[in-house]
Structure 1
């Protein structure tokens, strides 16, 4: 079987920035084991698969290790593929997913994700995580992911994590967000997942489902600019809408090709 494959850099206005995702259109679902093998072979943080679902598209996301319940950058990449490669005519694209219906609106090359808010609440920090960190946070919260709040952008940029210790904990399907108020934006973050091929995710849209309500409350503002301080760097425009969050960014197509499954 031959399938189209699109590789797209999301949450960036330049190639080789943001977070790379592969997008694979399907006419019907393949077996889960095969979807996982394709994602592992693609060797990017997420591979998105979608099929037509009436006037919507059913969407699933796989890392090289497992299926995720929500992924921002691969959703943005899928919307970009639908608009720029497959020429979908609508300005609003609706996906069905494990996290419910998700809308992506497109305007002047900016993709705005309408995602569920996941407001984090105070939580104890597991000892394994504490031991893995070279500096300790001033606050710890949790929704799907642990959210570790630091005093400065430098703390987020310079933190060292002992992976041999960190990998002893299983946060499936979540991870660990570290965040602080930004020097040239509203807030910054980084995202790490133990026991995975992709230890640090370059830009994590779903993490902002928790970061947006937290920083909206801390900063007293609804609209914010965020930067994820990975090596590739990602920029996100964020809006707190109560039980929903808006996460906007750009994308660039890196490659268009074909994959063979046998």
Structure 2
């Protein structure tokens, strides 16, 4: 069996920046265990699999270790592949997912994700453990699907050297570190060793929590964000009621065939 795949750098307009994702457009679903093995073989933060259903596309995302309920950059990458490689018609692609209905819209040269906003609640009891795991002074902690740690400034975000073994013990899938930005409204980094991602280069999904938080704090609906990993990536963010809009660039960097002899 042979399967075609494409590798896209999402949230970047140039190769080797942003967040790389693998995209498989399948005629029908593979066995779950096989999809997990394929994701482990690629060993990127996310591998996306998409299948066309009668009314819309269905998307699933796998890290090297597990399937996850939501992923932004791999959804952006999947839409890029469907629009630009497989000539999907129209300006909007709808995906059925574990997180409900997701939309990706072409807005000029960028693609805009339409994702559900995610609520968070403060939890000061975690301040000590999170500060120790991250190795920086944390001003506030919030819990939701991810653990959100707010620090003083962009330099603290960039200088964070976490103890990944301790980060993996904290609640939630991973830890977001965020602060006001110098050239952007806010910056962040994301560490998720418990699901096989030591640091994710650029993470659309965490902005489902970040956008509502910073919108309220800054009293702004539209914001520019930067994820300050080594690769780095810029996200154009907007709060729209109970939805968040996350726009970014994408670029194709590789295409190939996966050979599954004997599978």
CA contact (8 A) 1:17 1:232 kept: yes
- Aligned residue runs from structure 1 range 5-16, under 5 A: 5-16=5-16
CA distance in 2, matches of 1:155, 1:128: 17
Structure 2 gaps of 5+ residues are none
- 2:138 corresponds to: 137
- 1:37 corresponds to: 37
- 1:176 corresponds to: 175
How many pairs are equivalent?
260
Is 2:257 the counterpart of 1:258?
yes
Residues 43-100 of structure 1: CA distance to partner in whole angstroms, max 9, x if unpaired? 1110000100123100000000000000000000000000111111110000000000
What is the deviation of 1:134? 1.6
- 2:100 corresponds to: 100
What is the deviation of 1:159? 1.2
- 2:219 corresponds to: 220
CA distance in 1, matches of 2:141, 2:13: 32
Is 2:42 the counterpart of 1:59?
no
What is the deviation of 1:27? 1.0
Alpha-carbon RMSD: 1.3
CA contact (8 A) 1:171 1:193 kept: no
SS of alignment partner, residue 209 of structure 1: helix
- 2:113 corresponds to: 113
Shifted more, 120-129 versus 193-202: the winner is 120-129
SS of alignment partner, residue 49 of structure 2: strand
What is the deviation of 1:156? 0.4
- 2:154 corresponds to: 153
- 1:195 corresponds to: 194
CA distance in 2, matches of 1:243, 1:42: 34
CA contact (8 A) 1:171 1:194 kept: no
What is the deviation of 1:5? 0.4
**After TM superposition, where is structure 1 displaced by more than 6 Å over at least 4 residues in a row?**
none
Structure 1 gaps of 5+ residues are none
Shifted more, 14-23 versus 54-63: the winner is 54-63
What is the deviation of 1:170? 5.9
CA contact (8 A) 1:11 1:19 kept: yes
